[in-house]
Amino acid sequence: MSLESAVAVVTGAAEGMGRAIAWKLGSEGARVAICDRNRKGLEAAAGQMAEAGFQVLPRVCDVSESRQVEEFVSAVTAEWGGIQILVNNAGISKRNPILEPGDETWHEVLATNLTGVYYCTHRALPHFQDGGRIVHISSISGKVGSAEYSAYCASKHGVIGLTRALALELAPRGITVNAVCPGWVRTSMARRDLQETARLEGLTVEAMKRRILDGIPLGTMIRPEEVAGLVHFLVSPSGAAITGQAVDISAGEVMS
Characterize 80-106 residue by residue with b for buried, 16 or more Cβ atoms within 10 angstroms of its Cβ, and e for exposed.
Answer: beebbbbbbbbbbbbbbeeeeeeeebb
Q: Which residue type, as a one-letter code, is found at position 134?
A: I
Specify whether 152 is catalytic: yes
How many CB atoms sit inside 10 A of residue 143's CB?
Answer: 19
Characterize 149-186 residue by residue with b for buried, 16 or more Cβ atoms within 10 angstroms of its Cβ, and e for exposed.
Answer: bbbbbbbbbbbbebbbebbeebeeeebbbbbbbbbbbe
| Residue of 118, 119, 149, 152 with catalytic role | 152
CA distance 83 to 85: 6
CA distance 24 to 19: 9
Instruction: Return the SS3 of 10.
Output: strand
Catalytic positions:
152
